[in-house]
Chain A
Amino acid sequence: MNDHNAATLAAVRSSSDPERNAVTEVDVAPTGPDPHAVFQAVDLSVYYGSFCAVRGANLAIAQHEITAFIGPSGCGKTTMLRCFNRMNDFIETVRVEGSVLYHGVDLYDPAVNSTEVRRRIGMVFQKPNPFPKSIYDNVAYGPRLGGVKKKAELDEIVERALKGAALWDEVKSRLKASGLGLSGGQQQRLCIARAIAVDPEVILMDEPCSALDPIATARIEDLMQEIKTKYTIVIVTHNMQQAARVSDKTAFFTTEVNTESDRRTGCLVEFGPTSTIFSKPNDERTEQYVTGRFG
Protein backbone atom coordinates (compact mmCIF):
# COMPACT_ATOMS: atom_id res chain seq x y z
CA MET A 1 0.00 0.00 0.00
CA ASN A 2 2.89 2.32 0.74
CA ASP A 3 4.13 2.10 -2.82
CA HIS A 4 0.76 3.09 -4.10
CA ASN A 5 0.63 6.04 -1.76
CA ALA A 6 4.09 7.15 -2.76
CA ALA A 7 3.12 7.07 -6.42
CA THR A 8 -0.03 8.99 -5.64
CA LEU A 9 1.83 11.69 -3.81
CA ALA A 10 4.50 12.11 -6.41
CA ALA A 11 2.08 12.31 -9.28
CA VAL A 12 -0.25 14.71 -7.57
CA ARG A 13 2.59 17.00 -6.60
CA SER A 14 4.36 17.26 -9.94
CA SER A 15 2.08 18.52 -12.63
CA SER A 16 4.88 18.45 -15.19
CA ASP A 17 5.53 14.74 -14.77
CA PRO A 18 4.09 13.06 -17.84
CA GLU A 19 4.59 9.55 -16.47
CA ARG A 20 1.65 9.19 -14.12
CA ASN A 21 2.77 6.01 -12.48
CA ALA A 22 6.38 6.96 -11.98
CA VAL A 23 7.35 6.21 -8.42
CA THR A 24 9.51 9.01 -7.15
CA GLU A 25 10.74 9.86 -3.72
CA VAL A 26 8.17 11.56 -1.58
CA ASP A 27 9.66 14.82 -0.46
CA VAL A 28 7.22 15.70 2.26
CA ALA A 29 6.73 13.79 5.43
CA PRO A 30 3.12 13.14 6.30
CA THR A 31 2.08 15.57 8.97
CA GLY A 32 -0.51 15.38 11.67
CA PRO A 33 -1.43 12.59 13.99
CA ASP A 34 -2.89 10.17 11.44
CA PRO A 35 -0.47 9.27 8.66
CA HIS A 36 -2.69 6.42 7.45
CA ALA A 37 -5.66 8.60 6.64
CA VAL A 38 -6.56 9.24 3.01
CA PHE A 39 -7.80 12.70 3.87
CA GLN A 40 -7.17 14.81 6.84
CA ALA A 41 -8.86 18.14 7.31
CA VAL A 42 -6.90 20.38 9.66
CA ASP A 43 -8.68 23.47 11.01
CA LEU A 44 -10.50 23.72 7.70
CA SER A 45 -12.58 26.85 7.19
CA VAL A 46 -14.27 27.82 3.94
CA TYR A 47 -15.48 31.31 3.11
CA TYR A 48 -17.68 32.60 0.29
CA GLY A 49 -16.60 36.22 0.19
CA SER A 50 -16.91 37.37 3.78
CA PHE A 51 -19.41 34.63 4.64
CA CYS A 52 -17.97 31.71 6.55
CA ALA A 53 -19.65 28.47 5.40
CA VAL A 54 -17.62 26.02 7.50
CA ARG A 55 -15.45 26.88 10.48
CA GLY A 56 -12.50 24.96 11.87
CA ALA A 57 -13.32 21.39 10.90
CA ASN A 58 -10.92 18.59 11.82
CA LEU A 59 -11.40 15.01 10.70
CA ALA A 60 -9.56 12.10 9.13
CA ILE A 61 -10.98 9.77 6.49
CA ALA A 62 -9.75 6.20 6.45
CA GLN A 63 -9.06 4.06 3.42
CA HIS A 64 -11.69 1.65 2.06
CA GLU A 65 -14.31 2.97 4.39
CA ILE A 66 -17.51 4.79 3.69
CA THR A 67 -17.66 8.07 5.57
CA ALA A 68 -20.99 9.85 5.73
CA PHE A 69 -21.50 13.58 6.27
CA ILE A 70 -24.89 14.32 7.80
CA GLY A 71 -26.54 17.42 9.15
CA PRO A 72 -29.25 19.97 8.47
CA SER A 73 -29.32 22.17 5.35
CA GLY A 74 -26.67 24.87 5.24
CA CYS A 75 -24.36 23.10 7.67
CA GLY A 76 -21.49 23.09 5.17
CA LYS A 77 -21.26 19.36 4.51
CA THR A 78 -21.32 19.75 0.72
CA THR A 79 -18.91 22.69 0.92
CA MET A 80 -16.55 20.52 2.94
CA LEU A 81 -16.89 17.61 0.50
CA ARG A 82 -16.05 19.88 -2.41
CA CYS A 83 -12.78 20.86 -0.75
CA PHE A 84 -11.61 17.26 -1.04
CA ASN A 85 -11.32 17.46 -4.83
CA ARG A 86 -11.01 21.23 -5.13
CA MET A 87 -14.36 21.48 -6.86
CA ASN A 88 -14.81 24.74 -4.96
CA ASP A 89 -12.12 26.29 -7.17
CA PHE A 90 -14.76 27.15 -9.75
CA ILE A 91 -16.64 29.46 -7.43
CA GLU A 92 -15.14 32.92 -7.87
CA THR A 93 -15.39 34.12 -4.28
CA VAL A 94 -14.35 30.98 -2.43
CA ARG A 95 -11.45 31.04 0.04
CA VAL A 96 -10.11 28.07 1.97
CA GLU A 97 -8.20 28.32 5.25
CA GLY A 98 -6.47 25.54 7.11
CA SER A 99 -5.49 22.50 5.12
CA VAL A 100 -6.84 19.39 3.48
CA LEU A 101 -4.16 16.74 3.49
CA TYR A 102 -4.41 13.94 0.94
CA HIS A 103 -1.92 11.26 1.97
CA GLY A 104 -0.11 14.04 3.77
CA VAL A 105 0.01 16.46 0.82
CA ASP A 106 -1.91 19.69 1.22
CA LEU A 107 -4.34 19.80 -1.70
CA TYR A 108 -4.33 23.59 -1.55
CA ASP A 109 -0.54 23.82 -1.89
CA PRO A 110 0.19 26.03 -4.94
CA ALA A 111 2.39 23.26 -6.37
CA VAL A 112 -0.53 20.85 -6.52
CA ASN A 113 -2.14 20.28 -9.89
CA SER A 114 -5.88 20.54 -9.23
CA THR A 115 -6.77 18.69 -12.45
CA GLU A 116 -4.75 15.69 -11.32
CA VAL A 117 -6.42 15.91 -7.90
CA ARG A 118 -9.83 15.59 -9.55
CA ARG A 119 -8.70 12.65 -11.64
CA ARG A 120 -7.67 10.77 -8.52
CA ILE A 121 -10.60 11.90 -6.42
CA GLY A 122 -13.75 11.32 -8.43
CA MET A 123 -17.16 12.78 -7.78
CA VAL A 124 -20.79 11.77 -8.17
CA PHE A 125 -23.30 14.58 -8.00
CA GLN A 126 -26.70 15.18 -6.48
CA LYS A 127 -28.58 15.11 -9.76
CA PRO A 128 -27.48 12.50 -12.30
CA ASN A 129 -25.54 14.49 -14.90
CA PRO A 130 -24.60 12.29 -17.84
CA PHE A 131 -23.22 14.13 -20.86
CA PRO A 132 -25.58 14.38 -23.84
CA LYS A 133 -23.45 11.71 -25.48
CA SER A 134 -23.73 7.95 -25.91
CA ILE A 135 -23.41 5.62 -22.90
CA TYR A 136 -20.06 4.49 -24.27
CA ASP A 137 -18.75 8.03 -24.79
CA ASN A 138 -19.87 9.03 -21.29
CA VAL A 139 -17.74 6.33 -19.71
CA ALA A 140 -14.85 6.73 -22.17
CA TYR A 141 -14.71 10.51 -21.60
CA GLY A 142 -12.22 10.44 -18.73
CA PRO A 143 -9.92 7.76 -20.16
CA ARG A 144 -9.82 9.60 -23.50
CA LEU A 145 -8.76 12.78 -21.72
CA GLY A 146 -6.03 10.73 -20.10
CA GLY A 147 -4.74 9.82 -23.55
CA VAL A 148 -6.22 6.36 -24.10
CA LYS A 149 -6.87 6.12 -27.85
CA LYS A 150 -6.89 2.45 -28.82
CA LYS A 151 -10.40 1.14 -29.33
CA ALA A 152 -9.72 -2.25 -27.77
CA GLU A 153 -8.30 -0.64 -24.67
CA LEU A 154 -11.23 1.78 -24.38
CA ASP A 155 -13.72 -1.06 -24.91
CA GLU A 156 -12.16 -2.93 -22.04
CA ILE A 157 -12.17 0.11 -19.72
CA VAL A 158 -15.80 0.92 -20.56
CA GLU A 159 -16.91 -2.67 -19.94
CA ARG A 160 -15.01 -2.88 -16.66
CA ALA A 161 -16.38 0.46 -15.43
CA LEU A 162 -19.97 -0.39 -16.38
CA LYS A 163 -19.64 -3.79 -14.69
CA GLY A 164 -18.17 -2.04 -11.65
CA ALA A 165 -21.19 0.23 -11.52
CA ALA A 166 -23.59 -2.73 -11.93
CA LEU A 167 -24.96 -1.31 -15.17
CA TRP A 168 -23.32 -3.51 -17.80
CA ASP A 169 -26.07 -6.11 -18.14
CA GLU A 170 -28.71 -3.44 -18.63
CA VAL A 171 -26.88 -1.45 -21.30
CA LYS A 172 -24.44 -3.79 -23.05
CA SER A 173 -26.69 -4.11 -26.08
CA ARG A 174 -27.13 -0.35 -26.53
CA LEU A 175 -23.81 1.27 -25.70
CA LYS A 176 -24.26 3.69 -28.60
CA ALA A 177 -27.60 4.95 -27.27
CA SER A 178 -27.73 8.31 -25.51
CA GLY A 179 -27.01 8.34 -21.80
CA LEU A 180 -29.94 10.71 -21.38
CA GLY A 181 -32.32 7.93 -22.41
CA LEU A 182 -31.64 5.91 -19.26
CA SER A 183 -33.79 6.03 -16.13
CA GLY A 184 -32.69 8.25 -13.23
CA GLY A 185 -31.15 5.38 -11.27
CA GLN A 186 -29.39 4.07 -14.37
CA GLN A 187 -28.11 7.56 -15.15
CA GLN A 188 -26.64 7.82 -11.66
CA ARG A 189 -24.94 4.43 -12.05
CA LEU A 190 -23.66 5.64 -15.43
CA CYS A 191 -22.16 8.63 -13.60
CA ILE A 192 -20.55 6.25 -11.11
CA ALA A 193 -19.18 4.24 -14.05
CA ARG A 194 -17.84 7.44 -15.58
CA ALA A 195 -16.14 8.28 -12.29
CA ILE A 196 -14.54 4.86 -11.80
CA ALA A 197 -13.42 4.64 -15.44
CA VAL A 198 -10.44 6.88 -14.64
CA ASP A 199 -9.53 4.56 -11.75
CA PRO A 200 -9.68 7.06 -8.92
CA GLU A 201 -8.69 6.24 -5.36
CA VAL A 202 -11.57 8.11 -3.75
CA ILE A 203 -15.16 8.71 -4.82
CA LEU A 204 -16.96 11.69 -3.34
CA MET A 205 -20.73 11.42 -3.47
CA ASP A 206 -22.85 14.50 -2.98
CA GLU A 207 -26.34 13.26 -2.03
CA PRO A 208 -26.20 10.72 -4.86
CA CYS A 209 -29.66 9.29 -4.18
CA SER A 210 -31.66 12.42 -3.45
CA ALA A 211 -33.17 12.42 -6.94
CA LEU A 212 -33.87 8.67 -7.01
CA ASP A 213 -36.73 6.41 -5.98
CA PRO A 214 -36.25 3.87 -3.13
CA ILE A 215 -35.47 0.94 -5.43
CA ALA A 216 -32.85 2.87 -7.39
CA THR A 217 -31.50 4.14 -4.06
CA ALA A 218 -31.15 0.59 -2.74
CA ARG A 219 -29.22 -0.41 -5.85
CA ILE A 220 -26.79 2.49 -5.40
CA GLU A 221 -26.36 1.61 -1.72
CA ASP A 222 -25.64 -2.03 -2.57
CA LEU A 223 -23.19 -0.83 -5.19
CA MET A 224 -21.40 1.33 -2.62
CA GLN A 225 -20.89 -1.71 -0.41
CA GLU A 226 -19.49 -3.66 -3.37
CA ILE A 227 -17.03 -1.02 -4.49
CA LYS A 228 -15.77 0.08 -1.09
CA THR A 229 -13.19 -2.70 -1.18
CA LYS A 230 -11.56 -0.83 -4.08
CA TYR A 231 -12.36 2.79 -3.33
CA THR A 232 -12.58 5.10 -0.39
CA ILE A 233 -16.01 6.73 -0.35
CA VAL A 234 -17.20 9.94 1.24
CA ILE A 235 -20.94 10.54 0.97
CA VAL A 236 -23.01 13.57 1.85
CA THR A 237 -26.58 12.62 2.66
CA HIS A 238 -29.73 14.20 4.00
CA ASN A 239 -31.07 10.77 4.72
CA MET A 240 -30.03 9.59 8.19
CA GLN A 241 -31.20 6.05 7.55
CA GLN A 242 -28.95 5.95 4.53
CA ALA A 243 -25.97 7.09 6.57
CA ALA A 244 -26.78 4.47 9.21
CA ARG A 245 -27.15 1.75 6.57
CA VAL A 246 -24.11 2.33 4.42
CA SER A 247 -21.41 4.14 6.34
CA ASP A 248 -18.60 3.02 8.61
CA LYS A 249 -17.97 6.46 10.06
CA THR A 250 -20.26 9.44 10.34
CA ALA A 251 -19.54 13.13 10.70
CA PHE A 252 -22.37 15.25 12.06
CA PHE A 253 -22.40 18.92 11.06
CA THR A 254 -24.71 21.60 12.29
CA THR A 255 -25.16 25.35 11.95
CA GLU A 256 -24.22 27.90 14.52
CA VAL A 257 -25.80 31.33 14.42
CA ASN A 258 -23.33 34.15 14.70
CA THR A 259 -24.98 36.52 17.18
CA GLU A 260 -23.28 39.60 15.68
CA SER A 261 -24.15 39.13 12.03
CA ASP A 262 -27.07 36.72 12.41
CA ARG A 263 -25.55 34.52 9.73
CA ARG A 264 -25.24 30.77 9.94
CA THR A 265 -21.90 29.07 9.89
CA GLY A 266 -21.47 25.33 9.54
CA CYS A 267 -19.37 23.42 12.02
CA LEU A 268 -18.41 19.83 12.61
CA VAL A 269 -19.98 18.67 15.87
CA GLU A 270 -18.97 15.09 16.14
CA PHE A 271 -17.15 12.48 14.12
CA GLY A 272 -16.87 8.78 14.92
CA PRO A 273 -17.97 5.25 14.08
CA THR A 274 -21.50 5.30 12.67
CA SER A 275 -22.80 2.97 15.39
CA THR A 276 -21.56 5.35 18.08
CA ILE A 277 -23.00 8.45 16.39
CA PHE A 278 -26.40 6.83 16.06
CA SER A 279 -26.60 4.95 19.37
CA LYS A 280 -24.60 6.84 21.99
CA PRO A 281 -23.35 10.15 20.66
CA ASN A 282 -21.23 12.35 22.89
CA ASP A 283 -22.84 15.61 21.93
CA GLU A 284 -26.37 16.53 22.81
CA ARG A 285 -26.94 18.22 19.42
CA THR A 286 -26.00 15.01 17.62
CA GLU A 287 -28.43 13.05 19.72
CA GLN A 288 -31.22 15.51 19.03
CA TYR A 289 -30.56 15.33 15.30
CA VAL A 290 -30.27 11.55 14.95
CA THR A 291 -33.34 10.97 17.05
CA GLY A 292 -35.26 13.38 14.85
CA ARG A 293 -35.86 16.08 17.41
CA PHE A 294 -33.93 18.71 15.44
CA GLY A 295 -33.29 19.59 11.81
Chain B
Amino acid sequence: MTLIFRIAALTSVVISALIVFTLVRGAIEFLRLVPLSGLIDDAKTPGWFPRRNRFDLPTVVLGTLIMSSIAMVVAVPLGLGTAIFLAEYASSRTRRIIKPIIEVLAGMPSVVVGYFALKFIAPELVANLFQPDKIQNMTAAGIGIGILIVPIMASISEDSLSAVPGALREASYGVGARKSATVIRVVLPAAVSGIVAAFIIAVSRAIGETMVATMAGGLDGSGARTSSPLDPGLSITAALTNAAGGSDQALVGAPVKVLFFLGLLLFVVTMGLNLIADKFVRRVRQKY
Protein backbone atom coordinates (compact mmCIF):
# COMPACT_ATOMS: atom_id res chain seq x y z
CA MET B 1 0.00 0.00 0.00
CA THR B 2 2.73 2.44 0.99
CA LEU B 3 4.42 1.74 -2.31
CA ILE B 4 1.42 3.02 -4.30
CA PHE B 5 1.41 6.31 -2.47
CA ARG B 6 5.14 6.61 -2.74
CA ILE B 7 4.95 6.05 -6.51
CA ALA B 8 2.18 8.66 -6.78
CA ALA B 9 4.24 11.24 -4.91
CA LEU B 10 7.36 10.42 -6.86
CA THR B 11 5.53 10.67 -10.20
CA SER B 12 4.34 14.20 -9.37
CA VAL B 13 7.86 15.26 -8.56
CA VAL B 14 9.21 13.69 -11.74
CA ILE B 15 6.52 15.40 -13.84
CA SER B 16 7.35 18.79 -12.32
CA ALA B 17 11.03 18.23 -12.98
CA LEU B 18 10.31 17.20 -16.56
CA ILE B 19 8.26 20.34 -17.15
CA VAL B 20 11.07 22.55 -15.87
CA PHE B 21 13.62 20.58 -17.90
CA THR B 22 11.58 20.89 -21.11
CA LEU B 23 11.04 24.59 -20.55
CA VAL B 24 14.70 25.28 -19.94
CA ARG B 25 15.84 23.17 -22.90
CA GLY B 26 13.34 24.83 -25.26
CA ALA B 27 14.23 28.29 -23.98
CA ILE B 28 17.93 27.66 -24.58
CA GLU B 29 17.18 26.47 -28.12
CA PHE B 30 15.10 29.58 -28.70
CA LEU B 31 17.90 31.83 -27.50
CA ARG B 32 20.27 30.05 -29.90
CA LEU B 33 17.98 31.03 -32.78
CA VAL B 34 17.17 34.52 -31.58
CA PRO B 35 19.92 36.41 -29.73
CA LEU B 36 19.01 38.42 -26.63
CA SER B 37 19.35 41.65 -28.62
CA GLY B 38 16.61 40.34 -30.91
CA LEU B 39 14.16 40.42 -28.02
CA ILE B 40 13.75 44.15 -28.44
CA ASP B 41 12.31 44.92 -31.84
CA ASP B 42 14.08 47.85 -33.51
CA ALA B 43 11.57 48.30 -36.33
CA LYS B 44 9.79 51.62 -36.73
CA THR B 45 6.62 50.24 -35.16
CA PRO B 46 7.95 47.52 -32.92
CA GLY B 47 5.73 44.60 -31.97
CA TRP B 48 5.27 40.87 -31.38
CA PHE B 49 5.06 39.15 -34.78
CA PRO B 50 6.29 35.58 -34.31
CA ARG B 51 5.51 34.50 -37.90
CA ARG B 52 7.86 37.19 -39.12
CA ASN B 53 10.48 36.25 -36.54
CA ARG B 54 9.97 39.48 -34.63
CA PHE B 55 9.87 38.77 -30.93
CA ASP B 56 9.56 42.06 -29.11
CA LEU B 57 9.60 41.18 -25.44
CA PRO B 58 8.48 44.68 -24.28
CA THR B 59 5.22 44.18 -26.21
CA VAL B 60 4.13 41.14 -24.23
CA VAL B 61 5.63 42.34 -20.93
CA LEU B 62 3.83 45.68 -21.24
CA GLY B 63 0.63 43.88 -22.20
CA THR B 64 0.91 41.62 -19.16
CA LEU B 65 1.73 44.48 -16.81
CA ILE B 66 -1.11 46.68 -18.07
CA MET B 67 -3.75 43.95 -17.86
CA SER B 68 -2.51 42.77 -14.45
CA SER B 69 -2.45 46.31 -13.09
CA ILE B 70 -6.02 46.96 -14.21
CA ALA B 71 -6.98 43.62 -12.72
CA MET B 72 -5.45 44.62 -9.37
CA VAL B 73 -7.21 48.00 -9.47
CA VAL B 74 -10.45 46.03 -9.68
CA ALA B 75 -9.55 43.16 -7.36
CA VAL B 76 -7.90 44.97 -4.43
CA PRO B 77 -10.77 47.25 -3.41
CA LEU B 78 -13.42 44.61 -4.12
CA GLY B 79 -11.50 41.75 -2.53
CA LEU B 80 -10.22 43.63 0.50
CA GLY B 81 -13.56 45.33 1.00
CA THR B 82 -15.34 41.99 0.89
CA ALA B 83 -12.82 40.53 3.34
CA ILE B 84 -13.24 43.41 5.80
CA PHE B 85 -17.01 43.19 5.54
CA LEU B 86 -17.04 39.44 6.11
CA ALA B 87 -14.48 39.39 8.91
CA GLU B 88 -15.53 42.50 10.81
CA TYR B 89 -19.06 43.59 10.01
CA ALA B 90 -21.20 40.76 8.68
CA SER B 91 -23.44 38.84 11.05
CA SER B 92 -22.90 35.10 11.03
CA ARG B 93 -26.10 34.77 9.00
CA THR B 94 -24.93 37.18 6.29
CA ARG B 95 -21.55 35.45 6.22
CA ARG B 96 -23.26 32.12 5.63
CA ILE B 97 -24.96 33.58 2.56
CA ILE B 98 -22.09 35.57 1.05
CA LYS B 99 -19.18 33.16 1.47
CA PRO B 100 -20.64 30.43 -0.80
CA ILE B 101 -21.38 33.05 -3.45
CA ILE B 102 -17.73 34.10 -3.46
CA GLU B 103 -16.67 30.48 -3.61
CA VAL B 104 -18.86 30.01 -6.69
CA LEU B 105 -17.06 32.94 -8.29
CA ALA B 106 -13.75 31.30 -7.41
CA GLY B 107 -14.82 28.10 -9.16
CA MET B 108 -16.07 29.83 -12.29
CA PRO B 109 -14.28 28.59 -15.44
CA SER B 110 -12.14 31.42 -16.76
CA VAL B 111 -13.50 30.91 -20.26
CA VAL B 112 -16.90 32.05 -18.99
CA VAL B 113 -15.41 35.23 -17.56
CA GLY B 114 -13.48 35.66 -20.80
CA TYR B 115 -16.68 35.51 -22.79
CA PHE B 116 -18.32 37.89 -20.33
CA ALA B 117 -15.42 40.32 -20.78
CA LEU B 118 -15.64 39.99 -24.56
CA LYS B 119 -19.39 40.37 -24.89
CA PHE B 120 -20.35 42.58 -21.96
CA ILE B 121 -17.46 44.38 -20.27
CA ALA B 122 -15.88 45.48 -23.56
CA PRO B 123 -18.90 46.69 -25.56
CA GLU B 124 -21.21 47.79 -22.74
CA LEU B 125 -18.93 48.99 -19.97
CA VAL B 126 -15.55 50.07 -21.27
CA ALA B 127 -16.84 51.30 -24.65
CA ASN B 128 -19.35 53.59 -22.97
CA LEU B 129 -17.07 54.79 -20.19
CA PHE B 130 -13.85 55.49 -22.08
CA GLN B 131 -14.78 55.58 -25.80
CA PRO B 132 -11.76 53.53 -26.94
CA ASP B 133 -10.75 53.33 -30.61
CA LYS B 134 -11.18 49.58 -30.63
CA ILE B 135 -14.04 47.80 -28.88
CA GLN B 136 -11.71 45.06 -27.69
CA ASN B 137 -8.86 46.35 -25.54
CA MET B 138 -6.67 45.63 -22.55
CA THR B 139 -8.92 47.55 -20.13
CA ALA B 140 -11.82 45.18 -20.76
CA ALA B 141 -9.56 42.15 -20.43
CA GLY B 142 -7.98 43.57 -17.26
CA ILE B 143 -11.38 44.10 -15.64
CA GLY B 144 -12.30 40.51 -16.51
CA ILE B 145 -9.08 39.20 -14.96
CA GLY B 146 -9.80 41.39 -11.93
CA ILE B 147 -13.21 39.78 -11.45
CA LEU B 148 -11.58 36.39 -11.68
CA ILE B 149 -9.06 37.10 -8.89
CA VAL B 150 -11.42 38.89 -6.47
CA PRO B 151 -12.17 35.60 -4.64
CA ILE B 152 -8.50 34.78 -3.98
CA MET B 153 -7.85 38.33 -2.77
CA ALA B 154 -10.95 38.19 -0.57
CA SER B 155 -10.42 34.78 0.94
CA ILE B 156 -6.72 35.12 1.85
CA SER B 157 -7.32 38.62 3.24
CA GLU B 158 -10.29 37.37 5.24
CA ASP B 159 -8.24 34.54 6.68
CA SER B 160 -5.60 36.95 7.88
CA LEU B 161 -8.16 39.39 9.32
CA SER B 162 -9.93 36.56 11.14
CA ALA B 163 -6.58 35.42 12.52
CA VAL B 164 -6.21 38.73 14.41
CA PRO B 165 -7.13 37.83 17.99
CA GLY B 166 -10.44 39.16 19.28
CA ALA B 167 -8.55 40.36 22.35
CA LEU B 168 -6.94 43.11 20.25
CA ARG B 169 -10.34 44.32 19.07
CA GLU B 170 -11.60 44.32 22.65
CA ALA B 171 -8.53 46.24 23.78
CA SER B 172 -9.34 48.87 21.20
CA TYR B 173 -13.04 49.07 22.08
CA GLY B 174 -11.98 49.21 25.74
CA VAL B 175 -10.36 52.62 25.34
CA GLY B 176 -13.37 53.99 23.48
CA ALA B 177 -12.54 53.21 19.86
CA ARG B 178 -15.35 52.87 17.38
CA LYS B 179 -15.61 49.87 15.12
CA SER B 180 -14.22 51.74 12.10
CA ALA B 181 -11.22 53.06 14.06
CA THR B 182 -10.59 49.58 15.42
CA VAL B 183 -10.59 48.08 11.94
CA ILE B 184 -8.34 50.74 10.45
CA ARG B 185 -5.89 51.26 13.31
CA VAL B 186 -5.67 47.82 14.90
CA VAL B 187 -7.04 44.98 12.77
CA LEU B 188 -5.66 46.00 9.36
CA PRO B 189 -2.14 46.79 10.64
CA ALA B 190 -2.08 43.51 12.56
CA ALA B 191 -3.14 41.59 9.45
CA VAL B 192 -0.92 43.47 7.04
CA SER B 193 1.46 40.65 6.20
CA GLY B 194 -1.45 38.38 5.26
CA ILE B 195 -2.96 41.10 3.13
CA VAL B 196 0.37 41.65 1.38
CA ALA B 197 0.50 37.90 0.75
CA ALA B 198 -3.02 37.99 -0.69
CA PHE B 199 -1.93 40.85 -2.95
CA ILE B 200 1.16 39.04 -4.21
CA ILE B 201 -0.71 35.79 -4.86
CA ALA B 202 -3.42 37.75 -6.68
CA VAL B 203 -0.76 39.48 -8.83
CA SER B 204 0.74 36.11 -9.63
CA ARG B 205 -2.68 34.79 -10.66
CA ALA B 206 -3.33 37.89 -12.76
CA ILE B 207 -0.04 37.49 -14.60
CA GLY B 208 -0.71 33.82 -15.20
CA GLU B 209 -4.37 34.23 -16.19
CA THR B 210 -4.73 33.13 -19.79
CA MET B 211 -8.26 32.69 -21.06
CA VAL B 212 -9.58 36.18 -20.38
CA ALA B 213 -6.45 37.86 -21.73
CA THR B 214 -6.56 35.77 -24.89
CA MET B 215 -10.29 36.14 -25.54
CA ALA B 216 -10.79 39.78 -24.61
CA GLY B 217 -7.34 41.28 -25.23
CA GLY B 218 -8.31 42.03 -28.80
CA LEU B 219 -5.29 40.53 -30.61
CA ASP B 220 -4.74 37.32 -32.48
CA GLY B 221 -1.24 36.32 -31.45
CA SER B 222 0.54 39.31 -32.88
CA GLY B 223 0.38 43.04 -32.52
CA ALA B 224 2.24 46.30 -32.13
CA ARG B 225 3.88 47.47 -28.92
CA THR B 226 1.64 49.84 -26.98
CA SER B 227 1.45 51.33 -23.55
CA SER B 228 -2.14 52.52 -23.73
CA PRO B 229 -4.63 50.46 -21.73
CA LEU B 230 -7.31 51.38 -24.27
CA ASP B 231 -5.43 49.68 -27.11
CA PRO B 232 -5.71 45.99 -27.87
CA GLY B 233 -2.77 44.16 -26.33
CA LEU B 234 -1.01 40.88 -25.93
CA SER B 235 -0.05 39.32 -22.62
CA ILE B 236 2.65 36.68 -22.26
CA THR B 237 -0.06 34.09 -21.72
CA ALA B 238 -2.09 35.22 -24.72
CA ALA B 239 1.03 35.09 -26.90
CA LEU B 240 1.58 31.56 -25.63
CA THR B 241 -1.91 30.24 -26.33
CA ASN B 242 -1.95 31.76 -29.78
CA ALA B 243 1.42 30.27 -30.64
CA ALA B 244 0.28 26.90 -29.38
CA GLY B 245 -3.01 26.76 -31.24
CA GLY B 246 -4.34 27.05 -34.76
CA SER B 247 -2.26 27.13 -37.89
CA ASP B 248 0.83 28.33 -36.04
CA GLN B 249 1.46 24.74 -35.11
CA ALA B 250 2.61 24.14 -38.68
CA LEU B 251 5.54 26.49 -38.12
CA VAL B 252 9.04 25.39 -37.23
CA GLY B 253 11.99 27.05 -35.53
CA ALA B 254 11.87 30.20 -33.45
CA PRO B 255 8.10 30.82 -33.64
CA VAL B 256 7.60 27.45 -31.93
CA LYS B 257 10.55 27.58 -29.59
CA VAL B 258 9.40 30.94 -28.29
CA LEU B 259 6.68 29.02 -26.46
CA PHE B 260 9.25 27.49 -24.15
CA PHE B 261 10.95 30.78 -23.57
CA LEU B 262 7.68 32.53 -22.61
CA GLY B 263 6.62 29.56 -20.51
CA LEU B 264 9.86 29.65 -18.56
CA LEU B 265 9.58 33.40 -18.07
CA LEU B 266 6.05 33.02 -16.71
CA PHE B 267 7.05 30.09 -14.53
CA VAL B 268 9.96 31.95 -12.94
CA VAL B 269 7.97 35.13 -12.30
CA THR B 270 4.94 33.45 -10.73
CA MET B 271 7.03 31.03 -8.70
CA GLY B 272 9.11 33.93 -7.38
CA LEU B 273 5.95 35.81 -6.39
CA ASN B 274 4.48 32.77 -4.67
CA LEU B 275 7.68 32.21 -2.70
CA ILE B 276 7.62 35.82 -1.50
CA ALA B 277 3.92 35.52 -0.58
CA ASP B 278 4.63 32.33 1.34
CA LYS B 279 7.13 34.22 3.51
CA PHE B 280 4.47 36.78 4.39
CA VAL B 281 1.87 34.14 5.20
CA ARG B 282 4.36 32.42 7.50
CA ARG B 283 4.98 35.70 9.28
CA VAL B 284 1.26 35.94 10.13
CA ARG B 285 1.30 32.42 11.53
CA GLN B 286 4.33 33.10 13.68
CA LYS B 287 2.89 36.21 15.24
CA TYR B 288 -0.07 34.62 16.97
Contacts and interface: CB of A to CB of B under 8 A. Distances in A.
Contacts of B190: 131-132
A127 interface: yes
Interface in B87-101: 91-92
A289 interface: no
B176 A142 contact: yes
A125 B173 contact: no
Interface string B168-181: 11111111111001
Interface residues of A, number: 27
Interface string A179-213: 00000000000010011011000000000000000
Contacts of B169: 90
B176 A115 contact: yes
B175 A125 contact: no
A280 B34 CA distance: 97
B165 interface: yes
B31 interface: no
A187 B173 CA distance: 18
B189 interface: yes
Given A129-B165, A129-B168, A198 B175 contact: yes
B7 interface: no
Most buried by A among B92, B175, B186, B189: B175
Interface string A135-151: 00000011001100000
Contacts of B181: 145
A236 to B, nearest CB: 14
Contacts of B171: 125, 129-131, 191, 194
Most buried by B among A127, A130, A145, A195: A145
A119 B176 contact: yes
Interface in A105-135: 115-116, 118-120, 122-123, 125, 127, 129-133
A87 interface: yes
Given A125-B167, A141-B185, A90 B287 contact: no
B168 A115 contact: no
Given A92-B91, A92-B92, A133-B189, A145 B176 contact: yes
Interface in B154-198: 165, 167-178, 181, 185-186, 189-190
Given A92-B92, A129-B168, A141-B185, A146 B176 contact: yes
Contacts of A131: 168, 171-172, 186, 190
Nearest to B185: A141
A195 B189 contact: no
Nearest to A196: B175
A194 B175 CA distance: 8
A85 interface: yes
Nearest to A143: B175
Most buried by A among B168, B174, B178, B186: B174
Interface string A87-115: 10010100000000000000000000001
A132 B169 CA distance: 12
A79 to B, nearest CB: 14
Contact of A118 (B168, B174, B189, B287): B174
A195 B170 contact: no
Given A125-B167, A125-B174, A195-B175, A132 B287 contact: yes
A175 B172 CA distance: 20
26 contacts: A87-B170, A87-B173, A87-B174, A90-B170, A90-B173, A115-B178, A116-B176, A118-B176, A119-B176, A125-B170, A125-B171, A127-B167, A129-B165, A129-B168, A130-B171, A131-B190, A132-B168, A141-B175, A141-B177, A145-B176, A145-B181, A194-B171, A195-B175, A197-B175, A198-B175, A198-B176
Interface of B: 91-92, 165, 167-178, 181, 185-186, 189-190, 287
Interface of A: 85, 87, 90, 92, 115-116, 118-120, 122-123, 125, 127, 129-133, 141-142, 145-146, 191, 194-195, 197-198
Given A118-B175, A133-B189, A198-B175, 16 more contacts: A87-B173, A87-B174, A90-B170, A115-B176, A118-B174, A119-B176, A125-B167, A129-B167, A131-B190, A132-B190, A142-B175, A142-B177, A145-B176, A195-B175, A197-B175, A198-B176
